[in-house]
Chain A
Amino acid sequence: MTKRPNILGRWIIDTFIPEYIGSAGSGDYEELYKKIAEEKGRIRANLWFWRQIFRSIPLFINESIIWSTAMFKNYFKITLRNLLKYKGYSFINITGFAIGIACCLLILLFIRDELSFDRYHKNADRIYRVGVKGVINNNEFGLVSSPSPMAKAFLDEFPEVEKVVRIYNEIDREYSVRYKDKIFNESGFLHADDSIFEVFTFPLIEGDPATALKEPNSVIITKETAERYFGSENPVGRTLTRDNRYDYTITGIVENIPHNSHFHFDFLASFNTLDVSRTPVWLNNNVMTYVVLQKEYPIEQLEAKFPDFINKYIGPQVKMALGITLDEFISSGSRYDFFTQPLTDIHLHSHFMAEFEPNSDIKYVYIFLVIALFILLIACINFMNLSTARSSARAKEIGIRKVMGSKRIQIIRQFLTESVVLTFISVLIALILVKLTLPVFNNVTGKQLTVEYLNSIFLIPGIFGIIILVGILAGSYPAFFLSSFHPISVLQKRIKTEKKNQSIIRNSLVVFQFAVFITLCVCTLVVRDQLNFIRNRNLGFDKEHILVINRAQSLGTRIEEYKNEILQNSGIICASASSNLPGKQYTLTGFQIEGKPKETLYQAAVVSVDPDFAKTYDLETVEGRYLSEEHSIDTLSVVINESAVKSFDFDNPVGKCILAPSNNRTMRIPIVGVIKDFHFESLHQKIRPMVIVPSFLQHRFISIRIQPENISSTLNFLKNKWEQFATGQPFDFFFLDDQLNNLYKEDRRMGTIVSVFSVLALFIGCLGLYGLVSFATERRKKEVGIRKVLGASVSNIVFLFTKEFSKWVLLANILAWPAAWYFMNKWIQNFAYRTNIGWNLFLMAGITAIVIAVLTISYQVTKSAAANPVKSIRYE
């Protein structure tokens, strides 16, 4: 038996030996093995053999690397040569790819930012916000605020709660803050317990977190605020005055709150300044309570203890307020529970009313992620299509390479190199594009995204990794396709015909791209329609030319005087003071109704106004009468709207009474009239019940209907009068229609985003179509040539191809319309008042797609059809 090294060893040698040695090398090993085996025996031979392998393999690997990289020099050369030779194609390819990658990157940046909210706090994974939810009178409610006394009770009752903090938040609060002569209206003024620094991570630049908010009337301000009020002076120790009445001493300066937080502030004052921090009332939910849980403590265990807690603390107060026990309350179908939200979930998952700031939605994150992946996929496949479209041009080159001894894998490597290089260039361009468009993107999305390419060490190798990955992914199909050419067939100009399924893949890609475009186009049109609907809808009151003076409570008791003064100006038609306005936020108050069971609480938005409100806003009374000055304010009476009538289940509302608790008595307040429903909230909301209460107390807003002419002189007049009555307080005003428009800011933004994407999708779709058509015309050059010879004109040929490809675009329509309808239906459910999604929108989108497709197709076909038929049919 011939002595041979064992088969594993032989296989290793065969695999690793460099190619220029070839199989001869393996023979050398065997010869020596045999010699040693015969001289010194098998064992020694094996020993020698494996030692040889051990020492040789690293050298072989080294050599192989050097040899293969040698070939890459050539690949690069050819790649560059091809890029420059077919400038048009390369440009289209790279541009399309770069745009696709740039979109993808922007979206990923957006997503990364959205997911990062509130994570910078040290305890972030242990912080929870406690809210209240339940059912009252068959109406579900949920609040993210909680009772003021709850925080301390939590600390007493639950040892697993390590820390708590309360943040006091009045909705839409605006305070005026003054330092010496600088006075501004501030909306970022919060009160919080001094434990806030133990719960959240807000680094103090100056001041001691342990004591900064311990004393009442202390405040810390952000760096930015300090600059605004104090310039370069040191603010610590100085006094700020709030609302001209309350003084606060500055005890520290805090870093500006990062944008990726679910709440922001410019001023943070000590909560114990306010009496509300000591209230024993459990039924008012007016603070945000955050707790820090012990490490590893499961939140569900804490939540399980809530029902007993509620019984202990809230039960007695329910009895006092409603006259029934908590159990009776619950058995009548109502519920009252606490619930918790993890801090890091708030930004994307919390959508209750009266949040600190409007939150985003996790839905957007998912949608955008999907869009990003789709765009990348489309860009890659476009790339593939365009790369293979010019295959006949490269066919000869491939044939010759093969004849000269190239192995298939080398050709594959060549084309992979090409696609990696192209990807590299595209990615570079994409990175530049991202940097350029980031400001605009930030504007549209309302974020402050930044890219520092050189910042992170991981970024550069990461980018290279992605370039190679994407390059190989996108280049794999063309590489395999092109390397499969048989040298003889291509050198004889016989390119093998494409199999049926391959062309289906290609075509379905274009269909998909156009379907995406059509869907987005329809969405854009629907959003535009709905926005028009909103703009033109009759809101039930007259919103034209209403100027609103903010913070009218600065006028104190002289509101009426001011009103009467300004009415004397000819530019002013009428004015009214109120506690709230159409377009602002409303909370619901609950109360009982005389004649209805005691357990049922009815809820309505309550607004207090002066008697001119209906006149100023031109509200229509439907039943009874409106409030008027003749009736003394002692006999408090109210007016309700039509929705309230429905909700309170009245047949004859006039004369019925609302029961409101006041000073241990229950007051009976008669309803004297019903006004027609008007949209005091956004059209997203169904019109809710409203109770209008007359009052001459300090109202927050003065709504003034002014003449449209000479607005600036009217403004000046108002300002001067204001300064007479409320010296030192800033004159802050806005126009009601701007306020109303603000309600739909998000929707307008969505519309912009969708329309931008649809343009992009169209562009990419056209690229895809262009590639597809080029490929087809290349393939069918001979057919075109013969047709021309037989008498077809260029336009005949264009018509022929256009007909064929328009089919696909029509198919795209059929796919897109249901998808678009489904998405838009879902979106428009957000609006309680909406327009119809009309057929014309789908048609418009479809026709746009077809027209543009036809233009693209005819452009490309005309170019090819203009070729000389002699040249096409020459080699047969």
Chain B
Amino acid sequence: MKILSRAEELILLTIWRLKENAYCVPIFEKAQKHTGKKWSLGGVYIPLGRLEKKGYIISYLGEPSSERGGKRKRFYKVTPAGLRALKTAKEVEKSMWEGLEDILPE
């Protein structure tokens, strides 16, 4: 299992959180809200592509809608492999941080 990059991990979590409504725009907005940083759409697309290539998410096209100028939405869903990857990421973080939380400056 490959290690997730930070952006990939964050986006994977966001998709998971969004459950049914996980397409690019809400992922983008939620990620911005949670990290407090301004993302670029491109910076969302690229990790989405990599996650899909790694098999952690799958995508499917939705219905076209007029408010998007007639374009479809691409929805994403986390796969079991993706969940496993998240779990691994959490464990890696935990083991990395072990013993060091107290030294964090205020």
Complex alpha-carbon distance, A29 and B69, angstroms? 10
Q: Which residues of B contact A52 (CB under 8 A)?
A: 40-42
Minimum-distance CB pairs A-B, first 7: A56-B42, A27-B71, A55-B40, A27-B68, A24-B74, A59-B42, A28-B24
Q: Which residues of B contact A681 (CB under 8 A)?
A: none
Q: Which residues of A contact B66 (CB under 8 A)?
A: 2
Of the 9-residue stretches A14-22, A186-194, A354-362, which lies at the interface with chain B? A14-22
Q: List 5 A-B contacts (CB under 8 A).
A: A18-B49, A25-B74, A52-B42, A59-B40, A59-B43
Q: Which residues of B contact A4 (CB under 8 A)?
A: 69
| Interface: A242 (CB within 8 A) | no
Q: Which residues of A contact B48 (CB under 8 A)?
A: 21
| Interface: B1 (CB within 8 A) | no
A19 CB to nearest B CB, Å? 10
**Interchain CB contact (< 8 A) of A57 among B23, B42, B65:** B42
| Interface: A23 (CB within 8 A) | yes
Give the one of B52, B70, B72, B74 with max A CB within 10 A: B74
Complex alpha-carbon distance, A22 and B74, angstroms? 9
B71 adjacent to A30 (CB under 8 Å)? yes
Complex alpha-carbon distance, A655 and B66, angstroms? 118
| Interface: B28 (CB within 8 A) | yes
A29 adjacent to B49 (CB under 8 Å)? no
B47-74 vs A, Cβ < 8 Å mask (1 yes, 0 no):
0110010000000010001111111111
Interface size on A, residues (CB 8 A): 29
Complex alpha-carbon distance, A30 and B68, angstroms? 6
A171 CB to nearest B CB, Å? 79
User: From residue 53 to 106 of chain B, which have CB atoms closer than 8 A to chain A?
Assistant: 61, 65-74
Q: Which residues of B contact A51 (CB under 8 A)?
A: 40
Q: Which residues of A contact B67 (CB under 8 A)?
A: 2, 30-31, 34
Interface size on B, residues (CB 8 A): 24
B45 adjacent to A18 (CB under 8 Å)? yes
A30 adjacent to B42 (CB under 8 Å)? no
A28 adjacent to B46 (CB under 8 Å)? no
Q: Which residues of B contact A63 (CB under 8 A)?
A: 45-46, 49
Complex alpha-carbon distance, A25 and B44, angstroms? 11
CB contact under 8 A between A55 and B73, given known A25-B24, A27-B68, A28-B24: no
**Interchain CB contact (< 8 A) of B73 among A24, A34, A57:** A24
Give B52's nearest chain A residue, CB to CB: A20
A55 adjacent to B71 (CB under 8 Å)? no
User: From residue 1 to 54 of chain A, which have CB atoms closer than 8 A to chain B?
Assistant: 2, 4, 10, 17-18, 20-32, 34, 51-52
CB contact under 8 A between A55 and B69, given known A32-B28, A63-B49: no
Give A30's nearest chain B residue, CB to CB: B69
Q: Which residues of A contact B72 (CB under 8 A)?
A: 23-24, 27
Given pairs A24-B71, A28-B24, A34-B67, 8 additional interface contacts (CB within 8 A): A2-B67, A17-B45, A20-B52, A26-B69, A27-B72, A29-B41, A32-B28, A56-B42
B32 CB to nearest A CB, Å? 11
| Interface: A60 (CB within 8 A) | yes
A290-304 vs B, Cβ < 8 Å mask (1 yes, 0 no):
000000000000000
Give the one of B42, B45, B61 with max A CB within 10 A: B42
Complex alpha-carbon distance, A10 and B69, angstroms? 10
**Interchain CB contact (< 8 A) of B40 among A2, A23, A56:** A56
Give A19's nearest chain B residue, CB to CB: B49
A208 CB to nearest B CB, Å? 70
Complex alpha-carbon distance, A617 and B92, angstroms? 106
Give A29's nearest chain B residue, CB to CB: B41
Complex alpha-carbon distance, A17 and B46, angstroms? 10
B69 adjacent to A25 (CB under 8 Å)? no
B20-44 vs A, Cβ < 8 Å mask (1 yes, 0 no):
0001110010000000000011110
B100 CB to nearest A CB, Å? 33
B56 CB to nearest A CB, Å? 14
B40 adjacent to A27 (CB under 8 Å)? no
